[in-house]
Amino acid sequence: MNISKFGFIAMGFATALSCQAEVVKFDIQERAIAFEGRVFPNVGTYTLIKAKAIVALDPNDKRNSVIADLSFAPKNAKGHVEAAADVVILQPTNRQAANQTLLVDVPNRGRKLAPQLFDDSPQPGANNASKAQDAGIGYLHRQGYTMAWIGWQGDIPSEPLQMAMQAPSAIGLTGQARDEFQFDHLTNPILVKLSAIIEDPTSVKATVRAHWTNQRASPSDLTIKVTGPQSIEISRPQGFDAGALYEITYKAKEPVLYGMGFAVTRDMTAFLKSNSNALNPLVQNGSSNIQRAIGFGVSQSGRFLRDFLWLGFNEDLNGKQVFEGLMPHVAGARRMATNYRFGQPSRNSRHPQDPAWQIDLFPFTYEVMTDPFTGQKDGLLVRCRQTQTCPKVMQTDSEHEWWASRASLLVTDPSGNHIDLPSNVRAYMIAGTPHFAEPGSVMSQAKTMALPVNPMHAGQPMRALLSALNEWISLGTEPPTSRVPMRSHGTLVPANLAVAKNLPSLPYQELYTSAYVSDHNQLPPKVLGRYEVLVPLADADGMAVAGIRSLPLAVPKASYTAWNPRALGFGPGNLFPLQGGMSPFAVTKSEKLATQDPRLSVEERYANQDAYVEAVKQASQRFVKERLLLPEDAARNLERAKADKLSQIK
């Protein structure tokens, strides 16, 4: 297939590479000094490189055979299947100042998220790298990391601030496809884009239901109109609120080979680590100065990394290890619906949507388990163990993943019994945090949620853990022990035992996302069984007792929850996706008594502001000693505590 059909002009690809890592063309489109020439201590300035790469995959290579429908795709003259990817690189201008670690931040829906977590960089600057402030506190840059972003997602377009992959379609293939929508508004009618191309317009059917456990309904006023090859208009029925679920089924054609994104990430990372090709932009004087690589991903891209490992892509085409370290963040026990015919890379089912989609299939954890419903034996490390390419894994999750993403299945078998993690895996839950919060957020209100919105940002513990991971893979220094709720510790429990129900300011409803297994060979899928999902035990303030309890929880002025029920009119009785809740303590004892709040007031916890600041200082020193907080963040926290801004109460 002519690469121009992939949606960009290929005229800039003037130089073909050797078969090194199967990156056959690499076109640098821009090279400039980043961040307005901002100088980072001990490192200097950073250089920004933007490029387009073409990766060619041999369908006959066993390392590529796992990619769904690869053999059905159009091929070039050598019989290989080509995909194109956007690539962005940040490297120290003085390469001798680099720390020799390549940090590959797998884009989340085409965006960079590592700068927001590790550098407290605000959007849109985190995706830009043009202004000095775009580097935030500059933690990654002061450490000398070389950073790369490689487009892997094939169902989004390439845009100036959105990295994507252009992959071919499997011509001539057809099959059944399914989409599910939850709109959280009442626009009627509504135009929606489907995940695949419609092959037969008469096959398009729609149903609606208030919750996944309800029966599908087809009321007379629910109608659909096909408006394009991949779009329909839904006329919505009366009697359903903004949180209702709409399921669309249809016969589709020409599935895109989204699974190629795993191979593109593998081959581009191997290419950037290589020393043998002068066209590698990291090579100087025959050396790239890269000794190791860390794969990092947030949410969707964290799930991408779990699938990347499970599918065996941490072995490159020379049989070598791709990533020495993997850091999937806020992925829970989930994976992706990507490497399937009519896959959905953008799919992320949320409570109360279908909990048995492909992104929630067995296996859930790293060690080998047996699925009690299918008899399948599998684990995320099975394939890399066979090739001796397993990385060190540090999985980090917000507490929200333990309520919404079945994270308990990381540390239990499918029946809910305690298991130990392998020696090369650590797991950390950052207690009291939502799925993802912008740096600098404060408590806010949202009409869709029952509680004020939890603003907790996870940047501080994430910086400490990244530092520990880099020391683990470069020096062999063991990282902090896993910090997660566990059955064996009594901190991982059934939902009815997790949170006290005598907290009027925290309306706990025992809500969490369950885990089911379905037979996807029929449409709609048939439910086969339900896995045991457990949640974190809370203290008297309604906050998790296990995990990394950052300073706002360790020295609190409010309760921080990782769950937030939906408000009336927006699917009440369900969790609101991605968010947590927050409830400030009464300031005085008299205020506490007046509101009948069983939680201690602020004045009962701290004699005065100086006592509060001292408590923050003591807790910070403990976290630094445990390697869960960097000294520079401890100093920042002390200043924020003195200004009474640590609790993020608006």
Give the contacts of 622 (CB within 8 A, at least 6 positions apart).
Answer: none
Q: Is residue 37 part of a domain?
A: yes
Confidence at residue 121, expressed as pLDDT on a 0 to 100 scale: 94
Distances from the Cα of 594 to the Cαs of 119, 299, 588, in angstroms?
A: 42, 42, 10
Is 387 in the same domain as 265? yes
d(CA 370, CA 407): 17
Confidence at residue 162, expressed as pLDDT on a 0 to 100 scale: 95
Minimum mean pLDDT among 99-103, 116-120, 296-300, 345-349: which range? 345-349
Confidence at residue 8, expressed as pLDDT on a 0 to 100 scale: 29
Is 65 in the same domain as 79? yes
**Structural domain range at position 85:** 3-167+259-366+376-403+425-430
Determine the longest span between alpha carbons in the chain, in angstroms.
Answer: 80
Confidence at residue 349, expressed as pLDDT on a 0 to 100 scale: 78
Question: Is pLDDT of 562 > 50?
Answer: yes
Question: Is pLDDT of 3 > 50?
Answer: no
Q: What percent of the chain shows pLDDT beyond 70?
A: 97
Is 116 in the same domain as 263? yes
Q: Is residue 53 part of a domain?
A: yes
Model confidence at 21, pLDDT cuts 50, 70, 90, reads low
Question: Is pLDDT of 277 > 80?
Answer: no
Q: Is residue 386 part of a domain?
A: yes
Is 58 in the same domain as 150? yes
Is 185 in the same domain as 41? no
Is 178 in the same domain as 161? no
Task: Name which of 532, 551, 553 is nearest 541 in CA terms.
Answer: 553
Model confidence at 358, pLDDT cuts 50, 70, 90, reads confident
Is 36 in the same domain as 159? yes
Is 234 in the same domain as 274? no
Q: What pTM was estimated for this model as a whole?
A: 0.94
Confidence at residue 4, expressed as pLDDT on a 0 to 100 scale: 31
Task: Name which of 321, 260, 265, 262 is nearest 292 in CA terms.
Answer: 321
Mean pLDDT of all residues in 606-624:
98
CB atoms within 10 A of CB 278: 11
Cis check for the bond before 201: say yes or no (omega within 30 of 0). Answer: no
Question: Is pLDDT of 149 > 90?
Answer: yes
- Per the CB < 8 A criterion, the answer to whether 647 and 585 are in contact is no
Is 145 in the same domain as 161? yes
Last residue of a domain, which of 235, 253, 271? 253
CATH number at residue 27: 3.40.50
Structure token pair of residue 88: 């962005």
Q: Is residue 227 part of a domain?
A: yes
d(CA 108, CA 105): 9
CB atoms within 10 A of CB 2: 9
Question: Is pLDDT of 352 > 80?
Answer: no
Minimum mean pLDDT among 313-327, 408-422, 486-500, 510-524: which range? 510-524
Q: Is residue 114 part of a domain?
A: yes
Model confidence at 13, pLDDT cuts 50, 70, 90, reads very low
Number of domains in the chain: 2
- Per the CB < 8 A criterion, the answer to whether 88 and 163 are in contact is yes
Mean pLDDT of all residues in 38-60:
97
Chain segment 360-389, per-residue pLDDT in tens:
899 999 999 999 999 999 999 999 999 999
Q: Is residue 583 part of a domain?
A: no
Point out which residues pair with 48 in neighbouring strands.
Answer: 32, 90
Last residue of a domain, which of 230, 253, 276? 253
Q: What is the 3-state secondary structure (H, E, C) of 541-585?
A: CCCECCCECCHHHHCCCEEEECCCEECCCCCCCCECCCCCEEEEC
Last residue of a domain, which of 196, 219, 253? 253
Chain segment 315-342, per-residue pLDDT in tens:
999 999 999 999 999 999 999 999 999 9
Q: Is residue 38 part of a domain?
A: yes
Rg of the chain (C-alpha set): 25
d(CA 229, CA 509): 42
Is 143 in the same domain as 273? yes
Is 161 in the same domain as 197? no
Question: What mean pLDDT, rounded, does the chain reach?
Answer: 93
d(CA 381, CA 422): 9
Q: What percent of the chain shows pLDDT beyond 90?
A: 86
Is 232 in the same domain as 354? no
Question: Is pLDDT of 276 > 80?
Answer: no
Q: Is residue 619 part of a domain?
A: no
Chain segment 463-473, per-residue pLDDT in tens:
999 999 999 99
Mean pLDDT of all residues in 617-644:
97
Mean pLDDT of all residues in 247-260:
97
Mean pLDDT of all residues in 206-228:
94
Model confidence at 6, pLDDT cuts 50, 70, 90, reads very low
Confidence at residue 18, expressed as pLDDT on a 0 to 100 scale: 42
Mean pLDDT of all residues in 101-119:
97
- Per the CB < 8 A criterion, the answer to whether 342 and 175 are in contact is yes
Mean pLDDT of all residues in 299-305:
97
